[in-house]
Amino acid sequence: LELAEVNSLPYEEFIKRFGGAVEHGALVAGAVWSRRPFTSIDKLCAAFMDFLDKLPIEGKEGVIRLYPDLAGHLAHSGSLTAESTQEHKAAGLDTLTSEERATMAELNERYKTKFGFPFVICARENKKEAIINGLEVRIGNHASAEVETGLGEVKKICDLRLRDIVTDSTPKL
């Protein structure tokens, strides 16, 4: 999709196209539409990030709760969103051994019990070993810091997904 086309989308179409930039995030896309026109892809991404940053703490937690457990039940049953399926593959999470899957499942549960939201990490920027290691380290964090860390990963994932959707071939001066 060209940036000029993005700027001309009615909100219904904008939400259809960008409602998955944040997982199950139709509300986020609907809000960001208010900021158009976007003069660059960077500005479009920044509008998403800014909306997420300005949410109250429970809103940030709510956003993180929209994400599936990594290599969890939804992944195993083939019920992930198209975006998450691709990202799982990029990290090698579709080829876990049963031992690795059991480790992930146990760490995910411990993480969720402690924080009340799932462990989110940008799978396209990490391989499975780094992800399991990240889980082990982040379980030790304080809850308040971990909301921001999780939201930071949500933002990285969102940025990459947006750049998958939009191209900008406007000639630069």
- Note the residues at the interface with a second copy (CB under 8 A): 10-12, 15, 24-35, 51, 54-59, 61-66, 112, 116-117
Q: How many CA atoms lie within 13 A of 144 on its CB side?
A: 0
Of 104 and 128, which has the nearer Cβ to a second copy?
104
Of 33 and 128, which has the nearer Cβ to a second copy?
33
Q: How far is the CB of 90 from a second copy (least distance, A)?
A: 24
Pick from 173, 162, 154, 112: which is nearest to 3 by CA?
A: 162
Q: How far is the CB of 31 from a second copy (least distance, A)?
A: 3
Determine the Cα–Cα distance for residues 131 and 120; give it in Å rounded to an integer: 10
Of 1 and 57, which has the nearer Cβ to a second copy?
57
Of 98 and 113, which has the nearer Cβ to a second copy?
113
Please report the sign of the dihedral spanned by the C-alpha atoms of residue 140, residue 145, residue 150, residue 155.
negative
Q: How far is the CB of 20 from a second copy (least distance, A)?
A: 12
Q: How far is the CB of 92 from a second copy (least distance, A)?
A: 25
Please report the sign of the dihedral spanned by the C-alpha atoms of residue 103, residue 144, residue 126, residue 83.
positive
Q: How many CA atoms lie within 13 A of 111 on its CB side?
A: 27
